[in-house]
Structure 1
Amino acid sequence: MSKLWKKLPWIIAGLILLISLLDPPLLPWLLLAATIGACLFMPKRGLIGPVELPADDAFLPSEQVQWWYWTGHLQSEDGRRFGFEVVFFTFDSFLIMRDQLVQAAITDVDGKRFEFREFVKFHLPQRGKNGFDLNSGKGNSVTAVGGDGHDRLHAAVGQYVLDIELHATKPPALHYGGDAHPYRFGGYTYYYSRPKMETSGTLTIAGETLKVSGTSWFDRQYGELYQAIQQGWQWFAIELDDNRQIMLFDFKGSDSDVEKSGSITDAEGRTVTLNADEFQVTVLEQWTSPDTGCSYPSGWEIKIRNETFTVQPLLKDQELHAEHGFWIGPVYWEGACSVAGSVGGQAYVELNGYCRCPPRISL
């Protein structure tokens, strides 16, 4: 029955198309009937109350856009350094536009390589209880299973195969007090993080298997997020050597001063909000992608209260610019970075909205 329910939107769309070709005057009435049916049977949309954990680790049918996002810094036993990204996006706009976008990337710092893969699935995940069981579809090249701060990730990315387990070491950081946050430019978000997850497992490179360990950062965000995606942002997940973690969200555009947000999690796991006037992000350099021609910030000075940090990419080219088959997806920069200044550390930075050129489409 569950498989039939997943296919129902496509069956309805096919019937509407077929009937409209046979009898075009019926098309407006069919669309009206489909709209009424969607209103009656689709999950209720909108605000759902404060974040509840671990329940909200699971797929939430009521939310239009949501994602599960992992980034991390790993090191092999012989000292080789790596970064990784694994992300599952889901989009549920109407009866037909119901899909998942899955992306994974590996930054081989010492090997000076960056590889990524992307997958699209045209149905939504099943809702679990207090957790998630996500996959990229046929072949399951990318999977994420877990919840409540205990996750397992698998990602096959070119010559790299990542298999790791992650365990939270601090309480979740509930941004915006754990409640819905409205954006001035439209839409709203619920947002929480698990900012320091102990991570261990293996990374296989062209058949050679390395034991790796390190730390990861998990982000969970859901709500009405199309407007935010269109706005664009700089996002920083900073891990300091004194066991503090800092999240900064700096939106692009004229509303950026109002829409800046952040938080600091101290060594004991207490998270406090950073107000917009408590931090400043200054771009130091620009980098132009040889693949897309898009220009991105590449190096930042960040002042937070009475501290100053310099964040620099470990590799300049960490742009995700997949070739999309019958699909228009995002082109953005996300990469592993170093942190120096008042306290040293490491970071992951995401730059969305800096590349407005259409992605390459492979047919």
Structure 2
Amino acid sequence: MNARVLLLLLWPFAASAQGFAGLGTETDGFATPQSPAIFDFPTDHGPHADYRIEWWYLTANLQAADGTPYGLQWTLFRTALAPEQGAGWSSPQLWMGHAAVTTLDMHYVTERLARGGIGQAGVTADPFEAWIDDWQLTGPDFDRLTMTASGPDFAYDMNLTATGPLIFHGNNGYSVKSAEGQASYYYSQPSYTIEGTLTLPDGDVDVTGTAWLDREWSSQPLSDNQTGWDWFSLSLDSGKLMGFRLRQTDGTVYTSATWITPDGQTTAYPDGAFNADPLSTAIVDGRTIPTRWRVTLPDRDVDVTVAAINDQAWMQTSVPYWEGPITVTGSHTGVGYLEMTGYE
């Protein structure tokens, strides 16, 4: 789910956008997801120009040799101004990249913007390559990747290897986002091992850990009564859990979740089965942000507390949001990532 929806729909109009205005607008000739979802790999690892929004979204929980935790983000967004291909400067495709590194006391973030059709950014499916300027996420296939990005005060160079299958959320990849039926195509590779080097102001740090990559595309993903979301990816001692809640104008929430067993079997959970309740907040860039949560999935006996390793993981980008690594304690232990949008 995530900030990707907000960013891609509002980015071209960020100066005039109010809150989440436009997220529930008509599809204006773009394709819309249909159920049942039918995927074609490796083609679907590449772009879908007939849909309005799309992303390749990777987060990683890392550790240095001394046990110090770090978080890492690499994201490429595509948005289309019109449902057509075009060529060169006439291409309606716009691209945006976000990269970040989170430490216990710092959050480094940078952004890149690019036009489609002129080689600045893009994605090819086979062999897989996603890039914007000199940032790259590339490999012979989707299971073996190298990843690079850099900003004014950080850089990283990583290698990733998948250790499990692709995971399809919702109804075999058709992920419903509202009671009105808005939906996206949504799958993940949540089982990468990752190793490499972070370059920070104090020097290089060799790290290892786990990474989670989300793929999602749609044209009208939200209802016009939805004001923001809270998205959790949790790597636990006995499985993995993806869950999100979409906050609505009447004070209710719409939820969805996927439980993933260690061998990659999945169970999808409909609205109401997954719960996330704020426990405490922090002041972040002048906003009150919940950075400690109680997360429950009663059907799997999950009752955990998730807490940010750094409350100040604010993405000060074209459309700002919060995203950072978390720890998990309680009925299960582990690590994960939390993304939150719509807090003003």
Residues 1:335 and 1:179: Cα distance change in structure 2 (over 3 Å): closer
The residue aligned with 1:106 is: 101
Q: Which stretch has the larger CA shift, 264-273 or 124-133?
A: 124-133
Taking structure 1 as reference, are residues 228 and 235 closer, same or farther at Cα in structure 2, changes over 3 Å only?
A: farther
Call closer, same or farther: CA 1:344–1:126 in 2, change over 3 Å: closer
- Name which structure has the greater RCO, CA cutoff 8 Å, separation 6+: 2
Task: From 168, 193, 217, give the equivalent of 1:174.
Answer: 168
Structure 1 runs not aligned, ≥5 long: 1-37, 323-328, 356-363
Look up the match of 1:233: 229
> Equivalent residue for 1:348?
337
Q: Give distance in 2, aligned partners of 1:66 and 1:281.
A: 26
> What is the TM-score when the length of structure 2 is the normalising length?
0.79
Q: Residue by residue, what CA displacement relative to the aligned partner does 1:213-272 show, whole Å, maximum 9, x if unpaired? A: 110011011011464697421000001123x11000110115886731001111111111
Bigger share in helix: 1
Q: 2:143 maps to which residue?
A: 149
Give the TM-score normalised by the residue count of structure 1: 0.75
How many Å apart are 1:135 and its aligned residue?
2.3
Report what 2:79 is aligned to.
91
Q: Is contact 2:122–2:131 with CA below 8 Å preserved after alignment? A: no
- In the alignment, what sits opposite 2:31? 45
Could you tell me which amino acid in structure 2 is paired with residue 279 of structure 1?
F
Pick closer, same or farther for the CA change 1:126–1:313 going to 2, 3 Å: closer
| Deviation of 1:127 (Å) | 5.4
Task: Answer whether contact 1:56 1:130 (CA < 8 A) is retained.
Answer: no
- The question of 1:212 aligning with 2:207 is answered yes
SS of equivalent residue, structure 2 residue 272: helix
Q: Which moved further from structure 2: 340-349 or 172-181?
A: 172-181
Q: Alpha-carbon deviation of 1:132? A: 3.8
Q: Which residue of 1 aligns with 2:288?
A: 295
Answer yes or no: is 1:165 the counterpart of 2:154: no
Q: Deviations over 1:259-303 (max 9, x none)?
A: 3100111111111112333221111112222x3x22221210111
Please say which of residues 157-166 and 59-68 is displaced more in the overlay. 157-166
Could you tell me how far apart the structure 1 residues matched to 2:127 and 2:251 are?
A: 33
**Pair 1:246 & 2:252 matched:** no
Give the total of aligned pairs: 300
Say whether the 8 Å CA contact 2:124–2:130 is kept in structure 1: no
Shift of 1:352: 1.3
Higher mean alpha-carbon deviation, 254-263 vs 306-315, is at: 254-263
Whether the 8 Å CA contact 1:58–1:131 is kept in 2: the answer is no
The answer to whether the Cα contact below 8 Å between 1:72 and 1:216 also exists between their aligned partners in 2 is yes
In the alignment, the residues of structure 1 paired with residue 202 and residue 277 of structure 2 have an alpha-carbon distance, to the nearest angstrom, of: 42
Structure having the higher strand fraction is 2
Read off the aligned partner of 1:271 and give its amino acid letter.
T
Rg larger for: 1
Structure 1 residues 228, 83: closer, same or farther in 2, change over 3 A?
A: farther
Secondary structure at the aligned position of 1:353 is classed as coil
Structure 2, unpaired ranges of 5+:
1-27, 85-90
